[in-house]
Each structure stands twice: as C-alpha cells, then as structure tokens.
Amino acid sequence: MIVEHGREEFEAQRSLTYRAAEAVIIHFDDLLGRLPGARSDRLPAGLSLAAVRRTRNILSHDYRKARKDIVWDVIEQRIPSVILALVD
C-alpha cells in the first residue's frame, strides 16, 4: 500500500507513507531474525542480513540521515522479492 500511494506522496515533507515504510523495514528485520532454519534457507543469496540490520538501525535511531531513495528501493523492490522467495 505504501508503494501504491506513489513516490511523490512518499517524498513529501512529513509524509505518513515514509513513516510507514520506516516501520515496515524495522519490523522486517525482526521478522527475518525469527525465521526458522528451513525458511531462512529460502532467502535470496544476495540478501545481506547485516545490511538489513544497518538499515533498521539507521531508521530506528537516526532517521533524519536515512536516504529516502534507499528506503523507497527497499519497500518497492527488496522486501517484496524476499517475501516472494519465502512463500514460493
């Protein structure tokens, strides 16, 4: 739904869709940490759990320095591809 609102809405000052994206990414890191072994084996080979954790930390503790283009890419491309890998 965040992506459906569009990039312009996401980029707007004080955007609620940006704040929602932050929350999704923060909780996504937690979700990945709780995956059982069989499921975590299905994660894409190029997925860096360390990068996911760093992004989560930036958003949790210093969100004003987060690059919106990276957050958008994570929400639009990366999280959906990981979800598809896990549910296929």
pLDDT digits (tens, 9 = 90+) for 25-78: 999 999 998 999 888 899 999 999 999 999 999 998 876 678 899 999 999 999
CA pair distance 77, 73, nearest whole angstrom: 5
Q: How far is CA 74 from the centre of its chain?
A: 5
* Domain positions in the chain: 3-87
* pTM for the predicted model, two decimal places: 0.85
**What pLDDT score does 64 carry?**
66
**What pLDDT score does 72 carry?**
95
The first and second tokens of residue 22, run together, are 């932050």
CA pair distance 18, 50, nearest whole angstrom: 22
**What pLDDT score does 37 carry?**
84
The first and second tokens of residue 9, run together, are 């809405």
Looking at residues 10-24, what average pLDDT do you find? Answer: 93
**What pLDDT score does 63 carry?**
62
